[in-house]
Structure 1
Amino acid sequence: MLGKAIRRMALFGAGIVGVAMFGALGAAHAQETTFDEVQLIVPYQEGGGSTIHARLLAPALEQALPGNPKILVRNIPGAGSVKGINEFYNAAKPDGRMIASLGTGTFFQYLLEDPAVKYPLAEFRPFLTSPFGLVVYARKDQGLKGDPIADIKKLREGRPVYGGANATSSDLPALLAIDLLGIKPQYLFGLSNAEAQAGFDRGELTLNYDNMASWANSVKPMIDEGTAVALFTFGFENENGDIVRDPMAPELPTFLEVYEEINGEPLEGTAYDVWKTLFDIRVMGSKMFSLPPGTPDHIYNVYAEAMKKALESDRLKSEQAEAVLGNYPQTVGTQAERTLAGATKMEGEQREWLKTWLKETHDVD
């Protein structure tokens, strides 16, 4: 237990990215800025990952913000997060009294130019990013042995069955990665994550993915008992910008590793650019807290400093926090803004490549 505690403390301590020092004017503004109440918009239903994340962090942030304001978590579900973030963009003033939780749907619908999107996502000011990895796995009873390269080649010969929400939901990065590896599943869409997992457990679905929050309690037990085999994780981007193995499962190869091993060359060009943007969204920007566009630096810095302080609190170093945040370093301040920039950067050629892929592979316009 002591080793685990030390490792957890080291990860949080080393991973939290420092915010730039205030100048004299910024410090004066920071001392003057207090809040009595803050709304936190979560654009998904109660009970989901974004709500759990928000309700874990909100009390610690309350204690760290000037004035110790009450943070009211408000769920506005609809249209894959678009409804809630549209309302946030329209209602939020740049005064620090309304913040939002950004999810993967917030990014995908923006990048795919969904006409329902009314928010300029690239102009938002995130002050926290909580990364979370992904793992792709398959049922062992398809003749798989537990060797990722051999198992992927085996799956390329057949038609595994994949179940998920739809092609433009949070499934999108996994769907693209699976296709780039040459696996051509039968798709069953319209399922929630719980329904897809239940179908996998029953053997009706044979290929699945999950975020690493489920690794220890759901995925690894299936592997240990011989029901499933892990194929790859998406990896994790370290402070040098290199994609390395996921810290939750360093024994598993990354997608880029297995792609290069199977194809004899690394993923490059437009396909890599699109995959990397989806990686930035789904892994590095898995959950974000953001202020609205136009928020002045002195308010932004107050939130960044408060979030940094909150992450050092006992509440966010607890086992409960580790169960939600995993062994991933949280990014604060300017590094969170860089993550947003990477996750919203998709040139016209890359966007058209993705739209063409969606049409040809999933008949989605």
Structure 2
Amino acid sequence: MTKFKFTQRVAAAMIATAALVAPAQADVDMSGKTIEWTIPFSETGGSAKWANFFAPLLSEALPGNPTVVVKFMPGAGSTKGANWFQEQTNGDGTVMFGSSGSTQFPYLLGDPRVRYEYNDWEPVMATGTGGVAYLNAEAGAKFDGSANNLQDMTFIYGNQGATRLDLIPALAWKMLGMNVEHVLGIKGRGDGRKMFESGEATIDYQTSSGYLKGSMELVEAGKAVPMMSWGSLAADGSIVRDPTFPDMPTFKEVCEATDGCETSGPEWDAWKAFFVAGFPSQKIAFLPAGTDQEIVDTFANAFAKIRARDDFAEISAARLGKYPMYVGEGAEAALATAITVDDTAKDFVVNWLKDDFGVSLN
């Protein structure tokens, strides 16, 4: 099967899963319980904004209206929290976990710090997202829709880790011929934005929720200039403009306008494969392995109830962006897409990480 056909099949599957419904209502009462939803990043990033958006809605939608508390466990680019969740055996619905592409990528790449297995967990909800790269005012004044005028500059970027979701911007900037120095080890993208705000970093990227509720203020103040979104995946497998940022060029468009950047070949295929794994089903809510199916169904139904709210499209677009939400079987299908990358793309990224970052995963 060609890479195009593979991507097209994945895109069609992602769109199809958005229509899958949740199970029939289970008979579970969660009155008086407190649900701790752990996010493996700092409280300033996109995952925090995602969980904080859904937490009160989930409390309202679950039977008995339990309290839902979002907790944060940053460290090791999110593998600390994921490894902790792998050991959780409390299957009564009071323990939840929120995964992100930065948790998925180390798993896909065989990062030695990974001691978790996605296939053990119970996905109950997944959402897609996008991402936006932006420049400081000095570089933004030179940006003309291509990176040609940026190639003689040196940029500083706060990076969560070479094997995390940050490999998407890192590889994109390399393909554009930009010189970006990576400060590794920040605990979340919100911390990267803080570096940018203080002037310690001169280029940044945020997932859509982080951009909408944090970086947009910098743009409005003239301190940041949007460069590009990563785009969105169309049903035919092509990269199109992100529906949340329709007036912003995609990385593909900027690449096509930049001398020496190609939207075909091994680099592009690898970038696109990891984009597909990291963004169309980027954030996933899980219950621990061994959770009673009745409780799994109860949570899936609660998220389905949230999605069915008359005001959901409006409030989620304002906070998270315009992306699909998957529940029940749809969440399971979204997870399968998120943890699947073909071997050719994986091998390319493993070799690139070794050459550019000194990270050995073999």
TM over 0.5: yes
Aligned to 1:44: 41
Quick check: 1:267 aligned with 2:263?
Answer: yes
Give the counterpart letter for 2:52 in structure 1.
R
Q: 1:250 Cα shift?
A: 0.8
Change in 2 beyond 3 A, CA 1:295/1:241: farther
1:77-226 equivalent positions in 2, closer than 5 A: 77-92=74-89, 96-142=93-139, 144-149=141-146, 152-191=147-186, 193=189, 196-197=192-193, 199-201=195-197, 205-216=201-212, 219-220=215-216, 222-223=218-219
* TM-score (ref. length: structure 2): 0.78
* Aligned partner of 1:235 among 231, 234, 259: 231
When residues 78 and 60 of structure 1 are mapped into structure 2, their CA distance, relative to the original with a 3 A threshold, is same
Distance change in 2, residues 1:223/1:99 (3 Å): closer
Aligned Cα RMSD in Å?
3.5
- Structure number having the greater helix percentage: 1
Cα distance, 1:118 vs. partner? 2.0
Aligned to 2:12: none
| Shift of residue 61, structure 1, vs aligned partner | 1.6
Q: Decide whether aligned partners of structure 1 residues 143 and 91 sit closer, same or farther in structure 2, where only a CA change above 3 A counts.
A: closer
Choose from 295, 302, 308 the match for 1:306: 302
Change (3 A) 1:165 1:295: closer
Contact 2:21–2:330 at 8 Å: present in 1 too? no
Q: Does the CA-based 8 Å contact 1:277-1:343 persist in structure 2?
A: no
Whether the 8 Å contact between 2:123 and 2:332 is mirrored in structure 1 is yes
Larger deviation, residues 304-313 vs 353-362:
304-313
Aligned residue for 1:248, secondary structure, equals: coil
Aligned twin of 1:5:
none
Structure 1: segments with no counterpart, 5+ residues: 1-13
Shift of 1:21: 6.8
> d(CA) in 1 for partners of 2:95 and 2:186?
33
Contact 1:39 1:99 in 2 (8 A): yes
The one-letter amino acid paired with 1:117 is V
Aligned 8 A contact 1:44 1:76 in 2: yes
1:340 to 335, 339, 347: 335
Which residue number in structure 1 is paired with residue 11 of structure 2? Answer: none
Quick one: structure 1 residues 208 and 303, their matched pair in 2 at CA, closer, same or farther if it must change by over 3 Å?
same
Cα distance in structure 1, aligned partners of 2:336 and 2:119? 7
Q: Does 220-229 or 171-180 show the bigger shift?
A: 220-229
Alignment of 1:57-68 (within 5 A): 57-68=54-65
Give the deviation of 1:342 after TM superposition. 1.9
Partner residue of 1:291? 287
Does 2:252 correspond to 1:252?
no
Separation in 1, partners of 2:197, 2:184: 17
Structure 1 residue 158 displacement after superposition: 3.6
Gap change, CA 1:82 and 1:162, over 3 Å in 2: closer
Give the partner amino acid of 1:278.
Answer: F
Percent of paired sites with the same residue: 32
Work out the CA distance in 2 between the residues paired with 1:17 and 1:213: 20
- Partner secondary structure for residue 116 of structure 1: coil
Deviation at 1:222, TM superposition (A): 4.9
8 Å Cα contact 2:124-2:300 kept in structure 1:
yes
The AA in structure 2 aligned to 1:183 is: M
Q: CA deviation at 1:291?
A: 2.8
Shift of 1:347: 3.8
Amino acid at match of 1:345: T
Shift, 1:60, TM fit: 1.9
236 and 295 in structure 1: CA distance in 2 versus 1, 3 angstrom threshold: farther
The structure-2 alpha-carbon separation of the partners of 1:47 and 1:194, relative to structure 1 and needing over 3 Å to count, comes to: closer
Q: Distance in 2 between matches of 1:16 and 1:305?
A: 15
How many residues align structurally?
A: 343
Cα shift readout 1:220-267 (whole Å, capped 9, x = no counterpart): 565566554332110123466543211222111111222234368863
Query: In 1, are the aligned partners of 2:88 and 2:288 still within 8 Å (CA)?
Result: no
Matching residue's letter, 1:275: W
Matched residue of 2:279: which SS? helix
Instruction: Determine the structure 2 residue equivalent to 1:325.
Output: 320
- The one-letter code sitting in structure 2 at the alignment partner of 1:182 is G
Give the structure-1-normalised TM-score: 0.77
CA contact (8 A) 2:79 2:114 kept: yes
Structure showing greater radius of gyration is 1
Deviations, residues 86-106 of structure 1 (Å, cap 9, x unaligned): 232222355645332112332
Output the amino acid matched with 2:286. Answer: S
